[in-house]
Homo-oligomer: A and B are copies of this chain.
Amino acid sequence: MPRVVVHVMPKPEILDPQGKAVAGALPRLGFEGIASVRQGKRFELEVEGEVTEAVLGTIREAAQTLLSNPVIEDVVDIEVVPAVEAAR
């Protein structure tokens, strides 16, 4: 089945406490060289049938309404993975 991956990140001007917590933990665990971390979400959607323009339109709308909160988050990427690769 083909897969569409939706990438959501907190907007740059929005405080990201999860990312801050990870960034603070890195040096404590001995991982050096990372200046900052931001944490977002990754959704993998399995599509029934072909990924047509209509399906992509539906997913774009769902990404803006259900998968992200447009007040505090940006949909940074929507990526189509063909069925052959998705099966790997």
Contact = CB atoms under 8 A, between A and B. Distances in A.
Interface of A: 1, 7-9, 19, 22, 25-26, 29, 31-49, 55, 58-59, 61-62, 65-67
A27 to B, nearest CB: 11
Contacts of A1: 35
A17 to B, nearest CB: 14
Report the 5 A-B pairs with minimum CB-CB distance, sorted nearest first: A40-B42, A35-B46, A42-B42, A36-B46, A31-B62
B44 A9 contact: yes
Contacts of A49: 33
A43 B76 CA distance: 13
Nearest to A63: B31
